[in-house]
Every structure is written in structure tokens, then in C-alpha cells.
């Protein structure tokens, strides 16, 4: 298995960074963990197989897609 740092232009985010980002967007830490472990299993690659260039952009799309399907997940207390 290749180290993740080889696959990314930068280093992959730490789970704490992802949790902070999701909390800032009004999402739970549990959802942040789902995102993190999903992309960790994919070695932080895009749908086309290339390395993710901007994990925050991908996380934003993840959140937008989730809220479109399930708007009740937005936590007004966090945001």
C-alpha cells in the first residue's frame, strides 16, 4: 500500500480538521467521520482516480448533496 502523502499534492487532512470543517458548516462530527473514512478508504482520490486537489471542496459537495436529500441533518445549534 502506498503512503497517502505520495498520492496527494499535499498531506491528507486529519480527522480533527474534517470535524472542525463539518461543524462550521452545521454538520455533526459523525457525518465528518463518515466523509473522512470514505475518502481514507479511497486513498483520497477523486471519482476519476486522480488525487483530490482540495478536500474542502469535496467536503462541501458532500454536505450539499446530503442536505439536498436530508435537510433535517443541518444542526442549527452547531451553526
Of 50, 48, 28, 47, nearest to 38 by C-alpha is: 47
The model's pLDDT over 42-74, given as tens digits with 9 standing for 90+, comes to 999 999 999 999 999 999 999 999 988 887 666
pTM of the model: 0.78
Residue spans of the domains in the chain: they are 11-73
Cα Dmax for the chain: 41
Tell me the three cell numbers of residue 27: 454538520
The model's pLDDT over 4-23, given as tens digits with 9 standing for 90+, comes to 544 445 689 999 999 999 99
Amino acid at each position: 500500500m502506498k503512503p497517502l502523502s505520495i498520492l496527494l499534492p499535499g498531506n491528507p487532512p486529519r480527522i480533527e480538521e474534517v470535524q472542525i470543517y463539518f461543524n462550521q458548516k452545521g454538520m455533526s462530527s459523525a457525518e465528518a467521520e463518515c466523509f473522512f473514512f470514505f475518502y481514507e478508504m479511497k486513498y483520497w482520490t477523486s471519482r476519476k482516480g486522480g488525487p483530490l486537489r482540495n478536500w474542502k471542496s469535496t467536503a462541501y459537495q458532500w454536505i450539499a448533496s446530503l442536505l439536498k436529500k436530508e435537510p433535517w441533518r443541518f444542526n442549527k445549534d452547531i451553526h
